[in-house]
Structure 1
Amino acid sequence: MTHPLFDIRGRVALVTGSSRGIGQALARGLLEAGAVVVINGRDESRLRQAADELAPAAEAGGTVVHTAAFDVTDAASVTAGVAEAEDRVGPVDILVNNAGTQLRAPLLDFAEPDWHRILDTNLTSAFLVGRAVAAGMVLRGHGKIVNICSLQSEVVRPGIAPYAATKGALKMLTKGMCADWGPQGIQVNALGPGYIETELTRPLVEDEEFTSWVRGRTPAGRWGTTDDLIGGLLYLASPAADFVGGQVLYVDGGMSSVL
C-alpha cells in the first residue's frame, strides 16, 4: 500500500520529450504509480509506438497513457498543444520538462545554428512549456514542475560546453520558477541525472576507456539506468515534497560529491 505522502494516483502528468529514453522511463514510472500521463514529442507515429510500449505500465497502474504531439521549442505550438491536451485529458498537475538534446564539439568549432538549437531544446522549451502549464496551476493554487537538469548543471567535460551552459541555466530557471510560482502553491524542483545508459549514450557505454572512467569516477561504480531516476521523480512529484522548492536532486551515483 502506498504511503499517502507518495500517492499520485489520478494526477495528470505531462512529460515532454518522452517518446524514448529517459523521458519514456519517467512516463512509465508515473503510470505505474497511477498517474494519468500525457507523453509528448514531435513525431506522432513515434508517440503512438511509445504509447503502445507504455500500455503494460498503464495497465499495472490502473490508468491510461495519452499522446500530445507538439514542438516544445515553438511558442505557438506549445500554447496550442498544452491547451488541447488539457481540454482532452484534464488540467496538468505534474509537468516534467524532459525534452533535451546533446551536441558535442570543441567550443571553437561549435556552429552558431547548433548553439541556438541546443539552447532552444534544452532551455527555452522548459520556459515555454513551464509558462503555459503554470498559468493554470496558478489559478488552481497547486502543481508540481520537475525540470530535468544534469550532472553537467554543476560540472563539465571538454567538448560539451554549450550543453553544460543550457543545463546550468536550467538549474537557475528552476530556482527562478520557484521564486515566482512558489507563493501560488507550485513546487518547482529538478532532477539531475548523472551518466545514464540510454539509446543516445550507447556509443559512450561501448567505449571501454570512457566506461572505465565512469565506473572509476562514480562511487556507485557503474553507469546509471533510467530506472534509477524514477524514485527521485516520484518523490518530487508527490505531496512528500510539498515543502521542497528550487532544489536539484542529483541522481548520479555520487559522482558530483567526490573528487
Structure 2
Amino acid sequence: MSGYADLFRLEGRRAVVLGAGSGIGRESALALAAHGAAVVCADRDLGAAERTAELTGSGAEAYGVDLLDTAAVERAAAELGEVDVLVLTAATNVRKRLLDYDRAEFDRVVSLNLGATFDVVRAFGAPMVARGGGSIIAFSSIRATTVEPGQGVYAATKAGLVQLLRTAAAEFGPAGVRVNAIAPGVVETPLTAQIKADPEWYRAYASKSALGRWARAEELAGAVVYLASDAASFVTGAVLAVDGGWTAIDGRYDPPAS
C-alpha cells in the first residue's frame, strides 16, 4: 500500500469533540487539529470550549451544548453540518458504595454516561449513515471490565456504553461508518481530582498499572487520532485499552520467580 506517511492525516475532515473544555476532550481536540482536521470544540461550558479552540491555533470553532438535553444534542447535530469524526468524552461519577447510593445519584450518572451517548450516537450517526461514512469514538473505561467498591454505577454505564457502541458498529457498518470505544485506566483529569488529592490513593492506583504511574490526558489523544484516521479504516466495534497495562496484570503483588 502506498501513502503510509499520510495514514494519520486528517485534512479535509471535520471533527466534533463533545467535552472539549478540559482533560481528555481538550487534548483530543488539539491532537485532531494538529493532524489537519477542522475541529469544533463543544462543551457545556462555552467559555472552556472557546479556550480550547484558541489553543488549537488552527481556526477551530467553539460550540456550547448541554448533552443532558436531547433536543440540544439534536440541534447541535443539525447546526454543525457535515461531520466526519465525532468524539465523545463527557462523563461523570459519584463514588459511593451501592447501599449508600440514592436513585437521584444513579439517574445523574446514567443520564450523562449512557443516556447522552444514546442521544449523541443517534443524532450524529444518522447523517453519517445517510452520507456513507464517518468515525464515532466514545470513551469507556477499564471499569467496564474491572470494578472496585464505590464504582458500581459508573462501571455499569461504561459497560453499557461499550455494548451500545458495538451495536451501532454492527448497524452502521454497512454504510461505512465506524464506531469504536477507548478504555483508559486512571488519567489525571478533573474527574479524578478527588483521588489525586489523596496521596495514598494516588500511589495505590499508580502501582496497579504495569507502567507504575497515572496517564496524562494527552496520552489518550493518539488513540483518538488513530481511530479517526485511515490508519484504522478496518477497525470498528473495538475497545482500545489505553490503560498502562492495568487490565493485563493480576493485582499488585510481584511474587518471586522461583
TM-score normalised to structure 1 length: 0.91
Distance in 2 between the 1:207 and 1:228 partners? 23
Q: Which residue of 2 aligns with 1:169?
A: 160
Shift of 1:223: 0.6
* Equivalent of residue 30 in structure 2, options 28, 31, 39: 28
Contact 1:97–1:130 (8 Å) recurs in 2: no
Amino acid across the alignment from 1:4: D
Distance in 2 between the 1:162 and 1:174 partners? 18
Distance in 2 between the 1:212 and 1:225 partners? 15
Contact 2:14–2:37 (8 Å) recurs in 1: yes
Q: State percent identity of aligned pairs.
A: 39
Contact 1:14–1:38 (8 Å) recurs in 2: yes
Q: Which residue of 1 aligns with 2:150?
A: 159
* Equivalent of residue 80 in structure 2, options 66, 79, 85: 85
Shift of 1:126: 1.3
Shift of 1:143: 0.3
Q: Which residue of 1 aligns with 2:19?
A: 17
Distance in 2 between the 1:193 and 1:3 partners? 27
1:94-105 → structure 2 map (5 Å cutoff): 94-105=85-96
TM-score normalised to structure 2 length: 0.92
Unmatched 5+ stretches in structure 1: none
Unmatched 5+ stretches in structure 2: 251-258
Amino acid across the alignment from 1:80: R
- 4+ runs of 1 displaced by more than 4 Å? none
Distance in 2 between the 1:103 and 1:206 partners? 16
Shift of 1:215: 2.4
SS in 1 for 2:40: strand
Moved more, 127-136 or 206-215: 206-215
SS in 2 for 1:246: coil
Shift of 1:2: 7.7
Deviation per CA, 1:115-137: give whole Å up to 9, x if none: 11111111111111111111111
Q: Which residue of 2 aligns with 1:240?
A: 231
Distance in 1 between the 2:190 and 2:74 partners? 30
CA RMSD of aligned residues (A): 1.5
Q: Which residue of 2 aligns with 1:123?
A: 114
| Count of residue pairs brought into register by the alignment | 248
Shift of 1:45: 2.8
Contact 2:181–2:238 (8 Å) recurs in 1: yes
